[in-house]
Amino acid sequence: MPSIPQTMTVPHFVGQRRVERIEKPVPEPGAGQLLIRARSNALCGSERPQFINGSDVTPGHEAAGVVVAAGLGARTAVGTPGVVFLMDYCGECRSCRRGFTNLCAAKRGDMGFNRDGGYGVYELVNENIFFPVDVDLPLTEATMLLDIMGTGGHAIKRARLVHHDIESVLVAGAGPIGLGVLAMAKLLLGESTPVYIFDVIDYRLALAERMGGTPISVANGASLEEGLKAHAMNRFDLAIDTTGKQAARQQALNALAARGVLILVGHGEGLQLNVSADMIAPERSVLGSEYFAYTELQESLPLLRANRSYMTQIITHRFGVSDIQTAFETFLAGDTGKVVIEQ
């Protein structure tokens, strides 16, 4: 392992869509902590406010890297590659004790949002949120375990709690999370399961089609209902909204079959329900799905290893950290899948 410097140059999100470079001290790991040399970090739409409004911390919450130093009591060996779970969960509250680490009641922080994240050269983490991966798995590919496979898989598992025989899926939004939902539907429900996906961006719909989805364009006021009718399809067992937009959620709800489940993944706007007509009479369910639990990383790892070429289609652009400004501008313009910063 090369020696660790005392300072590092990191991107600073100053607001107004500008990223500058500043010097920060390299932190030293305390008891139970690890210092990670960041190697890859995927961009996320949730970072849009940081790019636009600025951030007091270094963003980046889909990080993969290598352990370069370990604090007292940490058991992870220096040189271990892995990924960083977003939520620094306490491990002691009722949710954590039962494995719902995504719902921690005493969360210590969110990496990249109120704690320095993976766009820096080095990232300091508590050991419990570091997940080791195989040394032969490229770290850019390892980022797929996080928001893509983790969030997408968790949403499908939430749906199966109330609907055990899902035979059709509708996805609102073909951004990276929507593409992750599409991919995990194919891996968890079966490759033959029809997955329809609607969006306004042709680039992302074309990518969804290459991944086995049936794309529906709703650009320029086009109707989802008419688009589905053209495929002789109008009712689904499962609809998953990744957009956070009320209009998309309402359309997804309206497309549910009896016993259908709507899973809300994207934070944002609301949803209007006629409880009798929308919920009681057809016995539909509406569930929220927040990120995923740390233990689901272990479930996703063999799926990623067995389906690397399929999953990594979602990664369409790679940039160096010196080009992070361009990376965000490219990503937010829409004509991308997942964009990754590599160091």
- Mind giving me the DSSP string for 131-159? EE--TTS-HHHHGGGTIIIIIHHHHHHHH
Tell me the three state secondary structure of residue 110.
strand
Q: Which of 85, 74, 63 is nearest to 29 (CA)?
A: 74
The class level of CATH for 7-147+292-342 reads alpha beta
Q: ∠ CA(156), CA(338), CA(59), 5° rounding?
A: 100
- Supply φ then ψ for residue 123, to 5 degrees: -130, 130
Nearest in space to 129 (alpha carbons), one of 31, 33, 26, 44: 33
Count CB neighbours of 323 within 10 A. Answer: 14
Name the residue with tokens 């009718």.
229
Report the distance separating Cα 203 and Cα 217, nearest Å: 11
Among candidate residues 31, 18, 40, 12, the one with its CA nearest the CA of residue 116: 12
Query: Which positions ≥6 away from 222 have C-beta within 8 Å?
Result: none
User: Among candidates 291, 251, 314, which has minimal Cα distance to 158?
Assistant: 291
Per-residue DSSP letter, 179 = H
Determine the Cα–Cα distance for residues 59 and 51; give it in Å rounded to an integer: 9
Please give the chain's pLDDT, 343 residues, in tens. 679 999 999 999 999 999 999 999 999 999 999 999 999 999 999 999 999 999 999 999 999 999 999 999 999 999 999 999 999 999 999 999 999 999 999 999 999 999 999 999 999 999 999 999 999 999 999 999 999 999 999 999 999 999 999 999 999 999 999 999 999 999 999 999 999 999 999 999 999 999 999 999 999 999 999 999 999 998 999 999 999 999 999 999 999 999 999 999 999 999 999 999 999 999 999 999 999 999 999 999 999 999 999 999 999 999 999 999 999 999 999 999 999 999 9
- Strands (DSSP E) contained in 78-120 are 81-84, 87-88, 109-110
Rg (CA), the chain: 20
pTM: 0.96
Tokens representing 154 are: 């968790």
Four-way CATH pick for 151-288: 3.40.30.10, 3.40.50.300, 3.40.50.720, 3.40.630.10: 3.40.50.720
* E strands in 2-62: 7-15, 18-25, 33-42
Residue spans of the domains in the chain: they are 7-147+292-342, 151-288
**Token pair recorded at residue 332:** 């937010």
Residue 36's beta-bridge partner residues? Answer: 67, 123
- CA dist 298 to 18, 212, 293, 304, Å? 37, 25, 10, 10
> Which value, to the nearest 10 degrees, does the dihedral of the CA atoms of residues 334, 341, 310, 160 take?
-80
DSSP letter (8 states) at residue 292: -
Question: Residues near 53 by Cβ (< 8 Å), separated by ≥ 6?
Answer: 15
Assigned token pair, 262: 């709507």
